Structure 1
Amino acid sequence: MQWSESTLQRLETGNAEKIRWRDVRELCQLYDVSREMTAALVGLAQQAHVKSWWHEFGELIPENFSVYVGLESSARTLTAYQPDLVPGLLQTVDYARILASIASPTDSAAELAGRAQIKVRRQSIVTRSRTPATLEVVVHEAAIRRVVGNPQVMAAQLRHMADASTMPNVTIRVLPFAAGTPLGASISPFVILAFGESSNGKPVEPTVVYLENLLGDLYLEKPVAVDRYYHAHQALQAKALNEVATREAFRKIAREYENER
C-alpha cells in the first residue's frame, strides 16, 4: 500500500482523520473481497467524513448491504420508539413473514421465509446468554391494534412481547391513545444505538440515531441530535404505561384477538 509506519498506526488505532476510498478499494483487491462488499465499503468510505449521512440504496451503497444490521449487532444498548409496527427485535416469525410478503409481493415462499428468519436471527443480540444487549422500547398502542395478517398472528405476537418483557435486559412500554401527543407533534420511528464504554470510561464508538424512510436510511451522530432523541424518548416514556401495565395490556388484547376466531 506504500504507507508510512505513522499512517498505518493512525489507521489501526482509529486516529486517521479520513479514510481514503481509493485505499479501501486497493485493500479489497489485495484481500480478494467480493465485488459487492468492495462496492459497499468504498461507498461507506466516500461518506465516512460526513456526519449524519444519507445512504441512498442502489447508488453508493448496494441495496442488499445493510449498514444498520452491522451497527445493531455491535450495540450494547438500543433505545427505540415504534409508532406503527412491532419492533423488528420483538417480531414473531409469522408477523415478520407477513410484513415481508407485503413489502416484497413477488418473492417466493422460500425467499419470504428467509427474510423472516434473518429478522428473527437478529434477535439473538437480546436473547443470547452472554452479554445480551439492553433493549428499551416504547411502542404506540396503534402498533398492537393494527392487524398484521390475522387475529391469530396478532394474539401470538402480543403474547410473545409479554413474555419478552419479563427478560431483565428488555423494557417494553406501550404509549396509549389516551396519552395524546407527548411531544406536541408526530414523530417517526427511531433507534438510538449505544456501543458501551472502554476501560477509561469513554464511548467505544459514537452513539448513533437511526431513522428509516422509503428513500434511504439516515444516521445521526452529532451529540445535539442524539440528545434530542434521548429527550424525546424520555418524554414518550413519561406518558407510557409502566412495565407491569404494559404486560397486562399485551395479554388482555391478545385475548381479544383470540376471541375473534
Structure 2
Amino acid sequence: MPSEQGSTVPRRRLGRELRRLREAAHITIEAATDQLEWSRQKIWRIERGEPAMRALDVEAMCKIYGAPKDLTEALKALAKETKARGWYHAYGDVIPKWFEIYIDLETTASLQEVYNGELVDGLLQTRSYIEAILRTSTVHTAADIERIVEVRIARQSVLGNDGKKFDFILNEAAIRRPVGGPLAIGHQLRQLAAMSEHSNISIRILPFATGAHGAMLGSFRVLDFPADSEPDTVYIEQLTGALYLDKAHELEPYRDQFRNIGNLALDQRKSRDLILAAEKEFCSG
C-alpha cells in the first residue's frame, strides 16, 4: 500500500523553509556559501528539496539565518524524515527520477483536476489496458512492463481514500480508441463507468461535437494540497520528463482552462451513458 508520506515531500518542505529563512534574513546564496563553507550548488540543491539532510547541517543553516530555537528544532526533526524512502524505491529501475516527485505529490494532494486528451488516465486504467499501452513502446522489455504495471496498479490505491477528490475530464477519443482490442477496451470502459459511481470521483467526457477547445494543446493535471503542506501544482508529463508549475501566474491559466472545458463536457450521468454506449459498440462489433 503506497504511503501517504513519501521521501521527497519532507525534503521539499524543508528546502522551502530554509530558503524562506535565508531570504527573510536578507542573506544571499553567495553569502551563505561563504559562512557555511559549502558550494553554491549544495545550497541550491537543498533549497530545491533534492538531498536527504543531516540535522547538524540544518542546525548550521538555521544558526546563520537567525532562526528561533523552536523552529530550528522542528526543522532538525523534519531533516530526519528526509532519509525515508518512498514505497516506489523498489521500482527505481523502471521509474524515472522525475516521476518519483509526482508519485509523492499524488499521495499528498487533496484534489486532482485532470484532463486527458488521448488515453484513459493512469489512475483509472485496467491491467490489460496498461499492458497494451506499454507494448507500443520500443524501449520496455517484458519484465519492465510487468513492473511498471505493478507500480501503476499500486498508485491507484489513492482513489480509495474518500478524503481525496478526483475530477477527470476525458476527451471522447479516450473512450473510442480500441486500446488492446475489443475485449480489453470493453473491460476498461466498464471499469470507468463503475468508478464514476464513487462519491469522490467525477468522470466526465468532452465530446467530439464540442469542436475546437482550449485544451487541444495537451493533457495536464492540477493538484491542490492541504494548507501548509505543498504549493498547488500543475503537472504536465512529456516523453522524457515533466513540468511542475507552482507559481500563481503559471497555475491560473490551467485552472481557467479546466473550468472552460468543464463547462463544455457532458455531466456525469450523460458521460456514464456515453461510456456504456461505447462499450456496447465494442462488444457487439
Relative to the length of structure 2, the TM-score reads 0.68
Q: 2:18: which partner in 1? A: 16
Give the letter aligned to residue 221 of structure 2: V
Indicate the structure with greater helix content: 2
CA deviations 1:56-85 (Å, max 9, x no partner) are xxxxx9658621111111111110100000
C-alpha contact (below 8 Å) 2:98/2:241 kept by paired residues: no
How far did 1:181 drift? 1.7
Give the letter aligned to residue 159 of structure 2: V
* Counterpart secondary structure, 2:205: strand
Relative to the length of structure 1, the TM-score reads 0.73
Q: Runs of 5+ in structure 2 lacking a partner?
A: 1-12, 23-41, 58-79, 90-94
Aligned positions, number: 216
Q: 1:123: which partner in 2? A: 156
* Counterpart secondary structure, 1:186: helix
What's the % identity of the aligned pairs? 29
Q: 2:130: which partner in 1? A: 96
C-alpha contact (below 8 Å) 1:125/1:132 kept by paired residues: no
CA deviations 1:226-259 (Å, max 9, x no partner) are 1110110011011111100000111111011101
Give the letter aligned to residue 122 of structure 2: G
Aligned structure 1 segments of 4 or more residues deviating by more than 6 angstroms: none
* Counterpart secondary structure, 1:211: strand
Larger Rg: 2
Change (3 A) 1:159 1:221: same
Q: 2:177: which partner in 1? A: 146
C-alpha contact (below 8 Å) 1:126/1:132 kept by paired residues: no
* Counterpart secondary structure, 2:166: strand
Instruction: Tell me which of 197, 209, 219 is aligned to 1:189.
Output: 219
C-alpha contact (below 8 Å) 2:134/2:140 kept by paired residues: no
C-alpha contact (below 8 Å) 2:233/2:251 kept by paired residues: yes
Q: 1:6: which partner in 2? A: none
CA deviations 1:139-183 (Å, max 9, x no partner) are 000111112110111111011000000000001110000001232
Pairs within 5 Å for 1:64-213: 66-103=100-137, 106-108=140-142, 110-128=143-161, 131-183=162-214, 186-197=216-227, 203-213=228-238
Q: Runs of 5+ in structure 1 lacking a partner?
A: 1-10, 41-60, 198-202
Give the letter aligned to residue 100 of structure 1: L
CA deviations 1:167-208 (Å, max 9, x no partner) are 00001110000001232x7221101111123xxxxx532100
CA distance in 2, matches of 1:13, 1:88: 30
CA distance in 2, matches of 1:225, 1:22: 23
Q: Tell which has more relative contact order, 1 or 2 (C-alpha 8 A, sep 6+).
A: 1
C-alpha contact (below 8 Å) 1:81/1:137 kept by paired residues: yes
Change (3 A) 1:117 1:22: closer
How much is the aligned-residue C-alpha RMSD, in angstroms? 3.1
CA distance in 2, matches of 1:94, 1:12: 40
C-alpha contact (below 8 Å) 1:137/1:171 kept by paired residues: yes
Change (3 A) 1:27 1:98: farther
